[in-house]
Each structure stands twice: as structure tokens, then as C-alpha cells.
Amino acid sequence: MASTDPTAEDFEYDEFAYFRENAEEVGLEWSGPPVVERVEVSVSGSRVVSALRWGTDPIEVVLLHGTAQNAHTWDTVLLALGRPALAIDLPGHGHSGWRDDFGYRPHQLAEDVAVAVEELVDEPIVLVGMSLGGATANALAAARPDLVRRVVAVDITPNPKAEDAKDIVEFISGPQTFPSFAEILDRTVQFNPTRSVSSLRRGIVHNAVRDADGSWQWRYDRRDRSGAPTVESPDAWAQVASIGVPYLLVRGGAKGSMVRDEGVEELRRRLPGAEVVTVPEAGHSIQGDQPLELARLIEEFGFGR
């Protein structure tokens, strides 16, 4: 049997081999592997949107990750939540296809996500999105209210300040290829001081691939986009204002959060019924920093009323 240790010579990627480690790291009781399968939906020609389907009952919650992440960022949250769910790899990320038009703006991603949701989901869902996934969730809820019954935005409001994303941009703009797993891990730890090393190791295993020479490279689409078509994006705040379902913003209260007080004020002005909760010990990636608290908030807001 091949090793799941990314530093081992006989390492072989098994994306379903790490759930117990996720659970034990946060003290969740382990009663055996969850029922999870990878599914695909064709969205354009041969291009697919790939996702992890948790459970066999009708899907109740759909989750969208942030830039340079993938569906496995939600593993611990979903282990704690225990509900049938669909964690989607956004186009250009994870196992989903890359768009030839570099159409990775939220309204373009939302069009692809809508196709997947229509095919795989029976009833309107609780839609959870973090960062880019949160912006995509806003776009989807605005354009397709028939698919969504509640929205949870994780540490994102429209038009965040560029300086708040400085560390994220610097991280994802770094090298594509690393000579060893130790080097890709060192850089990841440097830019994610609030996360445990074990969780970052898992994150890399899910978000990078090892080449035959032992080097590692990121899995998401990092091609030069200088020749990408110019596309006009809808007004993001207008999208939020048009959302007609209950809305929760979960913001990080620690260094790294991308939500400012003025963003919260604007959200409340544009969407007066919106709820806002701060998670004190979390930065931008609340699902990584405080997954049990985020799971509790999703359960309470999405299903407890």
C-alpha cells in the first residue's frame, strides 16, 4: 500500500485518506470514514465542474472556497456539520476544468456553479462562500434566487481594500514549482501563521501535485492572463442589495481578516436584515482557523430557525 506521507518516496495521493486526521486535530469523535464521493458536471463542452458530495441524502448546503483553494478546505467544517453537502472546486481550481477565457470573476464562476447546483441539488440550499467563493455566492444568490434559501459569506464584503489582500496576493504570486515538499510547506507556513502545520500539510497535499522528479507544483490555474478578454463585471454591492434571502456575514477578528468596519456598515446599509458575527481567533480563512465555530454558526443560521 502506497504511503500518504507526502515526503515518502512511495507517496500516492488519496484525497479521502486524511479525514481522520482532520477530526482528531480538533477533537471530533471519530466513528469511521464519512461517505464522500467525487462528482463531476459538464458545464461547457468538455470542461467540468468537480465537487465533493458528502452523504447520500438530498444536499442541504453548498460550499465555495476562496482563491487558490479547493473543496477540501471545508473538510473539518463538514465533518463537524454532519449534513449532506456539496463542496465545489471552483473553475480553475482543484479538479475542475480551467477556463480558456480566464473567466474567473465571481459572476462568471457563478454561472458555472449554477449549472452544477441545478444538476446535483433538489431544493434551494444554504450557500456558504469564503473570499472569492463568497463573492461568487453573492453573484449566484442575486442571479438565481430560485437556487438559494440562505447565504453565509465568510470574511468577505464587496470591493475589499487592496492592502488587506496584500499577503494573499504575495503568497499566490510566488513560485509555481518547489524542489521539495519541505520548501512548499515552509513558504505556506510563513504566510499562514494562524494555522497548524498539520492542517497546512494536508492543504498542500490537496492543492498541489508531485511530479516524477519529486518536485511539487500548485494545482490551480496560474497561467499568464495578460491576453484575457476584457469583461465588465456587475456592481458587487448592487448584487448584495438584491439578495432576498437571509444573509449572514462571518468575519475574522484576528490579523488577516479582509473585512473592515466600513464594509460591515455598507452591508447593513445595503442589506438591512443582514446578520454579522465576528470570530475573534480567526483571520481570513475562518474554516481553517476555527472550523468548529464556523460549523456551529452555519448550523445555527442555516438550520436552527
* CA-closest candidate to residue 229, choices 125, 108, 143: 108
Q: What CA–CA distance (Å, rounded) separates 61 from 67?
A: 20
Is residue 93 flagged as an active site residue? Answer: no
Domain with 107 in it: 19-303
Q: What is the pLDDT of residue 19?
A: 98
Is residue 44 flagged as an active site residue? Answer: no
- 3-class DSSP state of 149: strand
Phi, psi angles (nearest 5°) of residue 30 = -100, 115
- 5 inside domain: no
Cα four-point dihedral sign 153, 196, 173, 65: negative
Q: Which amino acid, residue 246? A: P
Chain centroid to CA 195 = 16
Residue 305 in this model has a pLDDT that exceeds 80: no
Q: What is the pLDDT of residue 193?
A: 85
Is residue 213 flagged as an active site residue? Answer: no
Enter the pTM of the model. 0.97
Residues 6 or more apart from 7 whose CB is under 8 A from it?
181, 182
Q: What is the pLDDT of residue 230?
A: 87
- 12 inside domain: no
- 41 inside domain: yes
Q: What CA–CA distance (Å, rounded) separates 277 from 156?
A: 12
Set 93, 96, 107, 131: catalytic member: 131
Q: What is the pLDDT of residue 229?
A: 85
- 3-class DSSP state of 33: coil
Number of structural domains, the chain? 1
Query: How much is the mean pLDDT over the chain?
Result: 95
CATH number for the domain spanning 219: value is 3.40.50.1820
Set 75, 89, 155, 289: catalytic member: 155
- 11 inside domain: no
Q: How confident is the model at residue 1 (pLDDT cuts 50, 70, 90)?
A: confident
Residue 133 in this model has a pLDDT that exceeds 80: yes
Q: List, for residues 20-65, the tens digit of each pLDDT value.
A: 999 999 999 999 999 999 999 999 888 999 999 999 999 999 999 9
Residue 289 in this model has a pLDDT that exceeds 90: yes
